[in-house]
Amino acid sequence: MGNMGICDGNRLSGLSLATLLSGLSVGMVLHSSAAKALDWRFSPSLSASEIFSDNLTLSENNKKSGFVTEISPGVSLYGDSPWSNFNLNYRMQGLYNAGGRDAIDINHQLNMNSLYQAVRNTLFLETASSISQQNISNSFVTTDNISGSGGRTEIKTFSISPYWTPRFGRFATGLAKVGYSNSSFGDLNGSSETQQRLSTPISDSGTFTRQARLSSGSYFNRVNWGLNYSSQEQSRAAGQDVRFEQYQGNARYYINNKFNLFGQAGFENNDFQTSTNSISNGFFYTVGGQWTPSKWYSLEVGIGNNKHATLQFNPSENLSSTITYRNKDVGLNTGDSWDANFNYRAKQLTIGFNYSQETTTLQQLFAEQGFFLRDASGSLTQVVNTQDLVSRGILTPGPTDPVTGRSSLIPGPNFNNTQLVLNPFDLVNDVIIRKRGNLSFSYQTGKSSYTASVFNERRTYEARSGEDMSYGVTGSWQWQFTPRMDLYLRPSWQHTDGELSSNSRYDVALGVSRGVPINLGRPLLMDTRLEFRHINQISDSSQFDGYVENRATANFNVRF
């Protein structure tokens, strides 16, 4: 998570680019004919902390204790309506003596996304941008901008995607979507630490996406059909470019309300660097059927050179589950693979599990997930997936995206600048096969709330040998023992196995927070926090030392 000087022109230009995109998004929404229907909320904030650490350098051989002062003004802008939404959160983190360097650092942290409807239900514009700081390797399991002597870089992403959803009477509906996203990663090539560890550090990239779809309309009663095209071309500043491209057609015939037959066929045309010649392009097909004996469950089986079996079990409105097995000879993720999800929601209890496998790039992962958030305790947290954010009240469902049919996510009651941190694998310029599983749990009583999550992630690289793996468990207990005062305990453990090192990290935070109502002409939301934190990282590599850090933080935060 890189430190940044006030006069760093390159990084300020990245901020300007992200700010420009955010400004354009605001302008388009404000000047739309539907803007009057938007519910706008503008909320500036200020956070100030004094932090004492007994190991600012995160080193067992060169320990240095001291105080770090943090002053971070921020602003949130949110607007929504049934058909459009805009969400911007920005924070300028000012630090003095971070890492014990007796210097001033400024870190820009931004998360913006919007969905603007130029022509209702027909023409849309989707935008997103982010600025965050991230580890450049897995030598530290997870760090923040407070401690450590480097090993971080600043990541800037933005994307823009206009799309059109035409309707052809009762005969068909369509989608035509194009998009561009950009990811930049500070000065990784100028980092001696990165050059020493990685032969192909991740590079800046621009990605063009194209998507076209034509689906049958209500005129077709017993037969549904669809034609699909998707393409993603990633152009890299260094290294070989990447292309994922697929053509596909499908049809499904309903014999009755319990049985249907389906077939799908297409062509894969992918291109990326690989050391094992693992690209499998060409023609693919699947034929099969689906049995739906009741609304509670169904079974679908398809055979061909790409095979799959899917079981859905949804016995109630509170419980839904799906598990899919695939065996593919053509395309991405060839061989055996699984996808699964399980969600249970009750009045006080939420349980979620998901497992997935995908072929992607780190540039795309950061473009899709690399935004800045921080939880109400003020500490950085490992966010496992979207469901984890929802279950913890950081995000809540918002307006439905007309393309995906899924709800967008908007700030929830616990949204207060939480950081989403990807697992600390090496930042390499490669195509990766990512397998990830996560189990999350949350329970709410009258005065206490409990959350826990367990995750495991494996990454296999196409161009270089080896595999990275990370797994861990996090938990929290929050007790509201008075109306405006909370006591919380947040333990976590995480282990990472990389090509060059293996690390384990134990982290426990104990704190108390108190809300203070004040009125300066209008009611303001203010809270204070006192936290004690113990961190112990163990490394089995002679190249990277383990360390122990004890930290005390006094924080004041006000949202105007």
DSSP string, 348-396: SEEEEEEEEEEEEEHHHHHHHH----B-TTS-------HHHHHHTTSEE
Q: Give Cβ neighbours of residue 507 (< 8 Å, ≥ 6 apart).
A: 142, 491, 492, 493, 494, 533, 534, 535, 536
Nearest residue to 119 (alpha-carbon basis) of 158, 162, 89, 152: 162
Residues of the chain with pLDDT under 50: 1-14, 33-35, 189-196, 370-388, 391-394, 396-423
The secondary structure of 485-546, three-state, reads: EEEEEEEEEEEEECCCCEEEEEEEEEEEEEEEEEECCCEEEEEEEEEEEEEEEEECCCCCCC
pLDDT for 199 equals 58
Instruction: Assign 36 to helix, strand or coil.
Output: helix
- pLDDT given at position 200: 67
CA pair distance 240, 363, nearest whole angstrom: 13
Closest CA to 7 of 146, 152, 104: 104
Residue 204 φ/ψ, nearest 5 degrees: -60, 150
CA distances from 473 to 72, 345, 352, 515 (A): 30, 21, 14, 29
pTM: 0.80
Query: Measured in whole angstroms, how far is the alpha carbon of residue 240 from the centre of its chain?
Result: 25
CB contact at 8 A, 394 and 374: no
Dihedral sign from CA coordinates of 244, 247, 253, 257: positive
Identify the bridge partners of residue 307 per DSSP, sorted by sequence position.
327
Residue 41 · residue 559 · CB < 8 Å: no
398 closest CA partner among 84, 126, 111: 84
Q: What is the pLDDT of residue 370?
A: 43
Structure confidence at residue 173 (pLDDT): 95
Listing DSSP states for 189-219 in one string gives GG-HHHHHH-SSB---EEEEEEEEEEEE-TT
Separation of alpha carbons 345 and 351, rounded Å: 7
Identify residue 50 by its one-letter amino acid code: E
The pLDDT assigned to 337 comes to: 94
pLDDT of residue 201: 76
Q: What local confidence, expressed as pLDDT, does residue 29 receive?
A: 54
Residue 378 confidence (pLDDT):
37
Measured distance CA(401)–CA(215) in Å, rounded: 17
Report whether 85 contacts 398 (CB < 8 A). yes
